[in-house]
Amino acid sequence: MLSLGSQFLVALGMLIGILIILLASMWLERKALAHFQFRLGPMRTGYHGLLQPIADAMKMVVKEMSVPEGVDVILYKTAPFIVFIPAFMVMAVIPFTATIKAADLNMGIFYVMAVLSISTIGYMMAGWSSHNKYSLLGCMRSIGQFVSYELPMGLSVLAVVMMAGTLNLNSIAQAQSCSWNIFRWYIFKQPLAFIIFFIALNAEICRVPFDLPEAESELVAGFHVEYSGMRFALLLMAEYVGLFTLTSICTTLFLGGWYGPPVLPGLVWFFLKTFSLIFILFWTRATLPRVRADQLMSLGWKVLMPAALINVVITGLLIMLKVY
């Protein structure tokens, strides 16, 4: 058990670390997307535009935070924090390696699912209080989307929890410990759960093809159409933090966390896996068009939900028959 002081230091280090990861993933996304599209992306600020996210952040900080007429001021001003803070709170339980982690909660994955749901309220507040029809449509879409994708996500996690016999993320990763035998990773034992989780994750962080709440070509910018300056930056950052936290949870649940062939240290394995997943998300963004709201719902309720339920039943049977 760490002392209170050292725990604080770990948390602080993590906070700074996540900010660096945030900026890095922003840069990576712009570069990856650019190269998918015969472009170079940012090139002028620093070596191959490395300082571009910092320049963007500086711009955001100095911009005026305008409050349009007719908004519900209290809700409008608090909403970005309610979106942003839960995204950061998830970071607390992610085990980067066996030792590098902020908190070792016994109900880790349960905590993650619970905290993630909070941000839905933030999206709703932002959309409702903005006094704008586009953001109202965007907020209605986001609520429908989050509610219908949290269920299959939870059920796919349940299958993993049943196999590991624990809710603790650290123990779930340890259950997949391996050296060269990477077939101990749950992605090979639970491929269906992985696919469902990955699709739901994509919907949860509102990325193409599930970026309906902010659908640029339809709703201009959806729920954050009226936000500017740092408040907008918070909403944007929440999205990128969500991108990293959810993919790292996916790594922990399905890709064996920090375990891998002993050629690289655990931390490197962890980031390698996480950023591979992030890259797949960038790739999807560059390839796919956006789905329509009703198609999104029918995919969630008619395909993912039954599939996740069947997966839970099959997992239960296999555990009962002592196959796993």
Partner 1 sequence: MAIKTTQFLNMGPQHPSTHGVFRMMLELDGERVVKCQPHLGYLHRGLEKLAEMRTYPQIISLTDRLHYANAFQNELTYCLAVESLLGIEVPKRAQYIRVMLAEMSRMQNHMIFFGALGMDLGALTPFFYSFKDRETILDFFEEIAGARLTFNYLRIGGLKEDLPEGILERIYAFTDQVPKIVDEYEELLSGNEIFLARMKGIGILSKELAINLGITGPILRSTGVAYDIRKVEPYSSYEDFTFSIPVGTCGDNFDRYKIRMKELRESNSIVRQAIERMPEGEICAKVPKIIKIDGEGYFRTETSVGEQGVYIIGKGEKSPYRIKFRSPAFVNLQMLQYVLPGGLVADVIATFSTVDICMGEVDR
What letter does residue 177 receive in the DSSP assignment? -
| Span near partner 1 by CB under 8 A; candidates 34-42, 63-71, 117-125, 179-187 | 34-42
Neighbours of 192 (CB within 10 A): 15
Q: What is the spatial distance between Cα 41 and Cα 29, in angstroms, rounded to a whole number?
A: 10
Q: Looking at beta carbons only, is 92 or 299 nearer to partner 1?
A: 299
The reply on whether position 131 binds partner 1 by CB under 8 A is: no
Q: Which is nearer to partner 1, 48 or 290 (CB)?
A: 290
- CA 223 from chain centre, in angstroms, equals 18
Which stretch, 180-188, 209-217, 227-235, 248-256, contacts partner 1 (CB under 8 A)?
209-217
* Site residue total, partner 1 (CB under 8 A): 30
CB of 298 to partner 1, least distance (A): 10
Listed ranges 172-180, 182-190, 280-288, 310-318: which one lies at the site for partner 1 (CB under 8 A): 280-288
Residues 35-54 that bind partner 1 (CB under 8 A): 36-39
Q: Which of 220, 312, 314, 318 binds partner 1 (CB under 8 A)?
A: 220
Name the minimum Å distance from CB 213 to partner 1: 12
Q: What is the 3-state secondary structure (H, E, C) of 247-260?
A: HHHHHHHHCCCCCC
Q: What is the per-residue binding string for partner 1 in 281-310, x denoting contact by CB under 8 A?
A: ----xxxxxxxxxxx---------------
Contacts of 43 (CB under 8 A, 6+ apart): 49
User: According to the binding rule CB under 8 A, does residue 66 interact with partner 1?
Assistant: no
Give the closest residue to 148 by CA, choosing from 86, 197, 200: 200
Question: CB of 284: closest distance to partner 1 in angstroms?
Answer: 11
CB of 45 to partner 1, least distance (A): 22
In three-state secondary structure terms, 54 is: helix
- Distance between CA atoms of residues 238 and 85, nearest Å: 8
Q: At its nearest, how many Å lie between partner 1 and the CB of residue 215?
A: 7
Question: CA-to-CA distance for 105 and 120, rounded, in angstroms?
Answer: 23
Q: Which residues contact 307 (CB under 8 A, 6 or more apart)?
A: 152, 192, 196
Contact between 138 and 288 under an 8 Å Cβ cutoff? The reply is no
Q: How far is it, in rounded angstroms, from Cα 134 to Cα 127?
A: 8
Out of 14, 215, 225, 307, the only residue in the binding site for partner 1 (CB under 8 A) is 215
User: Least distance to partner 1 from the beta carbon of 216, Å?
Assistant: 6
Q: Report the 10 Å Cβ neighbour count for 292.
A: 12
> How far apart, in whole angstroms, are the C-alpha atoms of residue 291 and residue 280?
18
Among 216, 280, 316, 324, binds partner 1 (CB under 8 A): 216
**8 A C-beta contact, residue 205 and residue 278:** no
By rule CB under 8 A, what string of x and - marks binding of each residue 132-151 to partner 1? -xx--x--xx----------
The binding track of 236-275 with respect to partner 1, each residue x by CB under 8 A or -, is: ----------------------------------------
Using CB under 8 A as the binding rule, whether residue 209 contacts partner 1 is answered as yes
Three-state DSSP class for 95?
A: coil
Q: Give the torsion sign (CA, 249, 250, 252, 257).
A: negative
Residues in contact with partner 1 by the rule CB under 8 A:
33, 36-39, 133-134, 137, 140-141, 208-209, 211, 215-220, 285-295
